[in-house]
Chain A
Amino acid sequence: MDANNREKLFAYIGATSFVCDELRLFLDTHPTDRGALEYWDRMSKVRNEAVMEYTRCFGPIEWYRVENRDCKWAWVEAPWPWEGRC
Chain B
Amino acid sequence: MWSYERRLQHPVNIDQCNPKLAQVIMSQYGGPDGEIGASLRYLSQRYVMPNRKVVGLLTDIGTEELGHMEIVGAIVHQLTRDLTPEQIVEGGFQNYYVDHTLGIWPMAAGGIAFTATAFQSKGDPITDLVEDMAAEQKARTTYDNILRLVHDHDVCDPIKFLREREIVHFQRFGEALRMIQDELDARNFYAINPAFPADLCK
Residues of A within 8 A of B (CB): 17, 62-63, 75-77, 80-82
B53 within 8 A of A: yes
Residues of B within 8 A of A82 (CB): 46-47
Contacts A/B (CB < 8 Å), 18 sampled: A17-B1, A62-B3, A63-B60, A63-B63, A75-B56, A75-B60, A76-B52, A76-B53, A76-B55, A76-B56, A77-B52, A80-B46, A80-B52, A80-B55, A80-B59, A81-B1, A82-B46, A82-B47
Q: How many residues of B contact A (CB 8 A)?
A: 11
Give the nearest-CB partner of A79 in chain B. B52
Residues of B within 8 A of A (CB): 1, 3, 46-47, 52-53, 55-56, 59-60, 63
Give the nearest-CB partner of B59 in chain A. A80
What is the bound-complex CA distance between A63 and B59, given in angstroms?
A: 10
What is the bound-complex CA distance between A80 and B60, given in angstroms?
A: 13
Give the nearest-CB partner of B46 in chain A. A80
Residues of B within 8 A of A75 (CB): 56, 60
4 shortest interchain CB distances as A-B pairs: A76-B56, A76-B52, A76-B53, A75-B56
Q: Which of B3, B46, B47, B63 has the most CB of A within 10 A?
A: B3
